[in-house]
Amino acid sequence: MKDLSKYNLLGLVLLFAGCGTATLQEQHYQGGALGTSYAITTYSETPEDLRPAIDSVFRVLNQSLSTYQADSDISRINAGDSTVQVDQMFREVLEASKEVFEATDGYFDPTVGTLVDAWGFGPGQALIMDSTRVDSLLLYVGLEKVSLGPDGRIRKTVPGIRLDFNAIAKGYAIDRLAAMLDAHGVPNYLVEVGGEVRTRGGHPLKGQPWRVGIDDPQVTEGRRIKQIVNLEDRSMASSGNYRKFRVDPGTGEKFVHTIDPHTGFTRNARVLATSVIAPTCMLADAYATAFMAMELEASQALLASDPELEGYIIYLDDAGQPAEYMTAGFRERVQDLGITP
C-alpha cells in the first residue's frame, strides 16, 4: 500500500494560463501539508483570501487522521486509547475504506501498516522477513477486524491492529478543500495535493477543461508526460511502484512498496502504475492504490462493473514489454499527444 510520501503519476499539472479578463480573477495558494505539497488555483469574480480556511482544513484533518501527530485521534487509537470518540471526518474515511475494502476483495486495507513498516517502507523499524514472521504479522491485518460502535469509539477484535489512512487521506483532504471552496462560491478551481487532483468547472480563460499530466512510469530520472487528461468536475489519483522500492544490501533483491494484504508479501507484479478518475478524490485515491496490488484482470473487471470509475493501467505484458489498459471513458478524456492509448 502506499503512504503519504508515495510517488504517484501526477507530478505535472498543466494550467495553460491565458490573458486576464475584467471579471475573473486568478488566485494561487501553495504550501506543505500532510507530509507533501499542495497547490490550489481558483478563478472567481469576487475573490477573497482563502489562506485561513485552507490552513483550517489541514489543521482539523491532521488532528483527526494524521499518524505523524502523536496526539491525533488516529494515533491515540493506534496506541490503545479506547476512549477516543471519532469525528465525522474519521467516520467518512473509515466508511469509504470499508466500501473499497469490500469492492476490491480486501486489496485496499488501511490495517496493512504493520507489514509496510516491517518491509522497510514506513516509519517503523524494518525487520528480517520470512514466511514465519509474515504469518505472525498477518494477525494484525484485516479491516474486517475493525468496527465503529454507536458511541463513536473504534473497536478492534485484535488489540494491536493499527489504522493508517495514508492511502486515502490525501484524496479526502482534497475533497474537504473542494467542499470549502464550494461553500465560498468559487466556480472554477483545481486542487492538487501530492499529485492527486480535483477540479470544478473548467479553465475559464481558455474555455476548456482543466488539463492534468500523467508521468511516464518508465522514466526513472526526471519526468516525462505520458498522457494529458481533460478533467471537469472530476477527481483523479495515481499510484506506482516505479520509483519507490527497496534493495536488500545483501542479496540485491528488489522489493516494491506495494504489499499484498492477503499474503503479507511485497508484490513484484506486472502493474507499473495506475490512474483512476472518480467523482471524489477519496475514492480515486483508494482504488488507484488497490489496483497496484490486484491482478490486472480483476482490476479490469471492477472498472467494467462500476460506471462511476474510469481507469488507466500501465503494465508489463507476458513478454515483459510495456502495455496499457484504458477504459473507454478515460480514453475520451485523453488529450492527443501523438501516443496511441
Helices 166-183, 51-65: crossing angle, 10 deg rounding:
150
pLDDT tier, 5 (very low <50, low <70, confident <90, very high otherwise): very low
In this prediction, residue 11 carries a pLDDT of 38
Per-residue pLDDT tens digits for 127-172: 888 899 999 999 999 999 999 999 999 999 999 999 999 999 999 9
In this prediction, residue 21 carries a pLDDT of 43
Strands 36-44 and 25-33: antiparallel
Residue with grid cell 528488489, as numbered in its chain: 254
pLDDT tier, 338 (very low <50, low <70, confident <90, very high otherwise): very low
List all residues 6 or more positions away from 49 whose beta carbon is below 8 Å from its beta carbon: none
Whole-number Å distance between alpha carbons of 289 and 102? 14
Does position 205 have pLDDT exceeding 80, yes or no?
Answer: yes
Does position 1 have pLDDT exceeding 50, yes or no?
Answer: no
Strands (E) across the chain are located at 13-14, 25-33, 36-44, 146-148, 154-156, 188-193, 196-200, 210-215, 225-231, 235-240, 245-247, 254-256, 271-278, 310-316, 322-326, 334-335
Helices 166-183, 281-293: crossing angle, 10 deg rounding:
160
Does position 8 have pLDDT exceeding 50, yes or no?
Answer: no
Per-residue pLDDT tens digits for 18-71: 444 448 899 999 999 988 999 999 999 988 999 999 999 999 999 999 988 999
Domain boundaries, the chain: 13-85+165-335
Whether residue 68 contacts residue 60, with contact meaning beta carbons closer than 8 Å, is answered with no
Nine-digit cell string for 287? 482504488
Between 225 and 218, where is the model more confident?
Answer: 225
Percent of the chain with pLDDT over 70: 85
Does position 240 have pLDDT exceeding 70, yes or no?
Answer: yes
Lowest pLDDT segment from 44-48, 71-75, 172-176: 44-48
In this prediction, residue 215 carries a pLDDT of 86
| First and final C-alpha spacing in the chain | 27
For residue 256, the cross-strand partners are 245
Q: What is the DSSP letter of 121?
A: S
Nine-digit cell string for 16? 495553460
Instruction: Say whether pTM exceeds 0.75.
Output: yes
Nine-digit cell string for 329? 471513458
In this prediction, residue 113 carries a pLDDT of 85
Whether residue 189 contacts residue 40, with contact meaning beta carbons closer than 8 Å, is answered with yes
Nine-digit cell string for 282? 477519496
In this prediction, residue 257 carries a pLDDT of 65
Whether residue 210 contacts residue 15, with contact meaning beta carbons closer than 8 Å, is answered with yes
The stretch 91-118 carries a mean pLDDT of 95
Q: Does domain 13-85+165-335 have CATH number 3.10.520.10?
A: yes
Between 242 and 201, where is the model more confident?
Answer: 201
Taken in order 63, 66, 70, 72, the sign of the CA dihedral is positive
Whole-number Å distance between alpha carbons of 17 and 284? 26
Greatest CA span in the chain, whole angstroms? Answer: 68
pLDDT tier, 335 (very low <50, low <70, confident <90, very high otherwise): confident
Coil/strand/helix, residue 266: strand
pLDDT tier, 243 (very low <50, low <70, confident <90, very high otherwise): low
Whole-number Å distance between alpha carbons of 325 and 308? 17
Whether residue 57 contacts residue 191, with contact meaning beta carbons closer than 8 Å, is answered with no
Q: Is 216 exposed, middle or buried (0-12, 13-18, 19+ CB in 10 A)?
A: buried
